Structure 1
Amino acid sequence: MRHPSGVPTVESCIPLRGSRFRFGQPSGIRAENRCSRHSDSTRCLRTSAEIPEMIYIFEVSSDSAEEVVPVTSLYMPTNEEVVEFYNNAIPLIDRLVGTNVHLGYWESPEDPSTVAEATDRLTDFMIERLAVDSSSRVLDLGCGLGAPAIRLAKTTGATVVGVATSANLLERARRSAVEAGVADLVDFQLADAVELPFGDSSFDAVLAIESIVHMPDLPGVFGEVGRVLSDGGHMVATDFFLKGPLVGRRLEIVEAYRRLSLNTPLLQPEDYPPLLRAAGMHLLEYRDITQQTMRHHREMIRAAQRQRAELVHTYGPEMIDTFISVFEQCLDISEPGYLLFTAERTNRSEHQPT
């Protein structure tokens, strides 16, 4: 099966063997002038940075097809594919992790917290960094099933507007807000992150939990956040990231994870500050919380194994075995990383033309 752009999807790129992936063997190496992480020949499509260096591109041959598949091919999911992914995955999300569609945070390996408790803990960490109260208006960018927005409204009294591109997710989120008794504080709207239907400086803070990883145009997204965020307001986000350049098996595993999860090409830590500065923001805090969140993968594997019969009936054995295999191998290499960052909107008066 092929991605509409011509890039093979995970099924044809990495063939299955039983319940585990068997990655192909390197079949050739070529040198090209392109981004080592995002594979554009002249410019990184996700950050717009120019790419001058020469790097080596490994090609992997698929045992299931007579073709050579470049594992560093620029796989960029479309918005329509992300919407379809979440529309179809809602039952799986509910069964495995509940209404928090993001990783959990465990204080230590001995932390007895459940997935629900750990995901709420991460939400609370982010709410604290938003620095808002009952007089504030907050944008939840990529609101998922609405759980963080609802928790934010209940704990702070702030007015929250959640946006997403999936009507199915928003319908569920609205029902949850009514059930939680905060429908007067929380509004969910269909909107594109690069064309937000809100005025300048219309929010006191912006929350983005594990959502920008699905957004290919980060300069556009951060630009819109900088536009709608009031001076001094905080953007608090989590994102998957690369700890450094990947090669060989580590690269293949991360590529499999990206394709399975419909993630855009991942950034490295140094990519964020210039993106934020260009949008009128500056970085206040950056935290690598990979070790505190990686356990989430293990918990999802266990949940999938416990419910395998039901899940196979809905999704088929290949999908569930693929899911388990990819997450097992991500645990093996502790990739991709997971970060939390807080940025502040710079006062606009400081950047007015003289």
Structure 2
Amino acid sequence: MSLVGERASILLLACRWIGESFRESIKRHEHFLALELGLKPGQKVLDVGCGIGGPLREIAKFSYTSITGLNNNSYQITRGEELNRIAKLDKTCNFVKGDFMKMPFDDNTFDAIYAIEATCHAPDPYGCFKEIYRVLKPGQRFAAYEWCLTNSFDPNNQDHQKIKAEIEIGSGLPDIKTIEKCLEALKQAGFEIIWGKDLTEDSPVPWYLPLDGGQFSITNFRATAIGRCVTKYMVRALEYIRLAPKGSERVQNFLEQAARGLVEGGKKEVMTPMYFFLVRKPLSSDE
């Protein structure tokens, strides 16, 4: 991901079982979404806010579907296309540059749609979900992992408000919505709710562990205190010699702030990065 590109998630997060590696948990996270969507070989699928396409490639290989990644960042698309070629998926998967608030697709185009930690960046959740509804075929499903405030969030608690602000500023997010507001926007857009759940509630290993700088990890070294320090000075050096774009260190500092907020939000259970929902577009308006 380009440091000066869109400040999206610091990294993908997933529920993790005892004895499961971070990489294994991410793969299971993506496979679970594909299974809930009921993806079948030959279907045409849309990944909303796909980044460089890590989940896109994993889900495409798992489900044998053709996936289009929608992204508004040219650098990420170029990188994603290169990785698709390396993975031999360039014939079945592609990227389209566009805004998920105004998608460059015809009505009723896709057999399934998903979003992973992406639609939380929408300035208007209803507008984003309405666009997804428009391009999804009738009777088909949309699933997502969404960043939301939990029922434990107290808007009158200053610590909670500070955590929320750190996450929003550090990740370049608009106002983080509650789970209730998320479901309300989905219903307003026309979707039928099949089910939804904060999956962090069932995670034996804390979901925020990969971001906790106080923990040491060989497999996720860059998220540790030492790893973050190394990254900070490396980015500073690369920017100084102009191998990294101007402003890279500033973006790195924003990401640090977001990580702090996410860890505190996880420990106090006021924020979840994986509220999972599965919804359906009715077959007809009078169904």
Q: Which one has a bigger Cα radius of gyration?
A: 1
CA contact (8 A) 2:107 2:136 kept: yes
Instruction: Assess if the C-alpha contact under 8 Å between 1:294 and 1:334 holds in 2.
Output: no
Asked if 1:123 corresponds to 2:30, the answer is: yes
Aligned to 1:138: 45
Change (3 A) 1:136 1:323: closer
Q: CA separation in 1, counterparts of 2:259 and 2:137?
A: 43
SS of 1:348's equivalent in the other structure is coil
Instruction: Provide closer, same or farther for how the CA distance between residues 86 and 165 of structure 1 changes in structure 2, counting only shifts above 3 A.
Output: farther
Residue in structure 2 matched with residue 150 of structure 1 by the alignment: 57
Contact 1:86 1:166 in 2 (8 A): no
Percent identity, aligned pairs only?
21
Q: What whole-Å deviation, never above 9, does each CA across 1:325-351 have from its counterpart, x for those lacking one?
A: 434423431231230000001112526
Of the three residues 209, 227, 233, the one matched with 1:298 is 209
Equivalent residue number for residue 281 of structure 2: 345
Alignment root-mean-square deviation, CA: 2.6
Residues 1:256 and 2:191 are matched in the alignment: no
Task: Tell me which residue corresponds to 2:102.
Answer: 195
Residue by residue, what CA displacement relative to the aligned partner does 1:113-138 show, whole Å, maximum 9, x if unpaired? Answer: 22221111111111111112112100
1:231 aligned partner, one-letter code: P
SS at match of 1:113: coil
Structure 1, residues 293-321: CA drift from partner, whole Å, max 9, x if none?
A: 98342212343323234212115699276
Could you say if the C-alpha distance between residues 174 and 276 of structure 1 is closer, same or farther in structure 2, counting changes exceeding 3 Å? same
User: Which residue type is aligned with residue 249 of structure 1?
Assistant: D
Asked if 2 retains the 8 angstrom alpha-carbon contact of 1:273 and 1:282, the reply is: no
Q: Does residue 329 of structure 1 match 2:249?
A: no
Query: Which of these residues, 190, 196, 219, is aligned with residue 280 of structure 1?
Result: 190
Per-residue deviation, 1:217: 1.6
* 1:88 Cα deviation from its structure 2 partner: 7.4
Secondary structure of residue in 1 paired with 2:139: strand
**Which residue pairs with 1:231 in the alignment?**
138
Q: Given the superposition, is the C-alpha separation of residues 340 and 307 from structure 1 closer, same or farther in structure 2, using an over 3 Å criterion?
A: same
Equivalent-residue separation in structure 2 for 1:275 and 1:322 (angstroms): 28
**1:168 maps to which residue?**
75
- Report 1:51-70 matches (<5 A): none
- Aligned pairs, how many? 258
Query: Aligned partner of 1:335: which letter?
Result: V
Matched residue type, 2:225: Q
Change (3 A) 1:295 1:149: same
The residue identity in structure 2 corresponding to 1:87 is G
The 1:304–1:295 alpha-carbon spacing in structure 2 relative to 1, beyond 3 Å, is same
Tell whether 2:236 aligns with 1:308: no
1:144 and 1:164 in contact (8 A); partners too: yes
Q: CA deviation at 1:112?
A: 2.2
From 126, 129, 139, the equivalent of 1:219 is 126
Question: For the residues of structure 2 that align with 1:208 and 1:200, how far apart are their CA atoms?
Answer: 18
Equivalence for 1:205: 112
One-letter amino acid of the counterpart of residue 298, structure 1? L
Task: Give how far 1:274 is off.
Answer: 3.1
Q: In 2, Cα distance between the equivalents of 1:296 and 1:180?
A: 29
Distance 1:208 1:193 in 2: 11
For residues 228-282 of structure 1, what are the alpha-carbon distances to aligned partners after superposition, in whole Å with 9 as ceiling and x for unaligned? 1011111000111112333221121121111111122122222233322332211
CA distance in 2, matches of 1:173, 1:114: 25
SS in 1 for 2:39: coil
- Residue pair 1:294, 1:331 contacting (<8 A) in 2 also: no
Distance 1:194 1:324 in 2: 27
Distance 1:202 1:251, change over 3 A: same
Displacement of 1:202 after TM fit?
0.4
SS for the counterpart of 2:29 is: helix
Question: Quick one: which amino acid aligns to residue 263 of structure 1?
Answer: L
Separation of aligned partners in 2, 1:132 and 1:113: 25
CA distance in 2, matches of 1:252, 1:274: 25
Q: What is the alpha-carbon distance in structure 2 between the residues aligned to residue 179 and residue 321 of structure 1?
A: 31
**TM-score normalised to the size of structure 2?**
0.81
